[in-house]
Amino acid sequence: MIKSAAILSIGDELITSGAIESNSVWLADQLETRTVRTLERRVVGDDRAAIARAIRQLTRGCDLLLLTGGLGPTHDDLTRAALGDVLTPDRPLATDPVALRHLDRFARAGRGPMPQSNLVQALRPESMRMLANPLGTAMGLAGRHRGCMIFAMPGPPREMRRMFSRTVLPAMPLDPQKPVVLTAGVHAFGLSEANAAERLGSLAEPAENQRLGITVSGSIVTARVRVQGLRPDAEQRIQRITAAVFDRWQPYAYGRDDESLSQVVGTLLTESGGTLATAESVTGGLLAALIVDAPGASRYYLGGWVTYSDELKSAALGVAAAILNEHGAVSEAVVCAMARGALASSGAEYSLAITGVAGPTGDSDAKPVGTVFIGLGVREASGGEVKSRRFRFPGDRGMIRDRAAKTALQTLRFALTDVDRATPLLGEA
Closest CB to a second copy among 41 and 88? 41
Q: Is 136 in the site for a second copy (CB under 8 A)?
A: yes
x/- string (CB under 8 A) for a second copy, residues 69-88? ---xxxxx------------
Q: Is 377 in the site for a second copy (CB under 8 A)?
A: no
Find the angle CA(179)-CA(180)-CA(181) to the nearest 5 degrees: 130
Q: Is 118 in the site for a second copy (CB under 8 A)?
A: yes
Closest separation in Å from C-beta 290 to a second copy: 8
Go through 40-75 and write b for each residue having 16 or more CB atoms within 10 A of its CB, e for each that does not.
bbebbbbebeebbebbeebbeebbbbbbbbbbbbee
Amino acid at 361: T
Residues 6+ apart with CB under 8 A from 390: 332, 371, 372, 373, 428, 429
Stretch that binds a second copy, among 105-113, 172-180, 266-274, 376-384 (CB under 8 A): 105-113
Closest CB to a second copy among 40 and 332? 40
Closest CB to a second copy among 198 and 271? 198
Q: Is 113 in the site for a second copy (CB under 8 A)?
A: no
Which of 90, 170, 273, 298: binder of a second copy (CB under 8 A)?
298
Of 278, 280, 264, 270, give the one whose Cα is nearest residue 189. Answer: 264
Q: What kind and span of H or E run contains 187?
A: strand 180-189
Which of 143, 229, 255, 304: binder of a second copy (CB under 8 A)?
304
Closest separation in Å from C-beta 382 to a second copy: 19
Query: How far is it, in rounded angstroms, from Cα 277 to Cα 352?
Result: 7
Stretch that binds a second copy, among 8-16, 167-175, 246-254, 413-421 (CB under 8 A): 8-16
Which of 175, 257, 271, 311: binder of a second copy (CB under 8 A)?
311
Name which of residues 183 to 202 contact a second copy (CB under 8 A). 183, 192-195, 197-198
Stretch that binds a second copy, among 133-141, 145-153, 252-260, 318-326 (CB under 8 A): 133-141
Query: How far is it, in rounded angstroms, from Cα 306 to Cα 163?
Result: 55
What does the DSSP 8-state code read for residue 93?
P
x/- string (CB under 8 A) for a second copy, residues 237-276? ----------------------------------------
Q: Is 323 in the site for a second copy (CB under 8 A)?
A: no
Distance of CA 237 to the CA centre of its chain: 23
CB 327 within 8 A of CB 336: no
Amino acid at 196: A
Query: How far is it, in rounded angstroms, from Cα 373 to Cα 383?
Result: 23
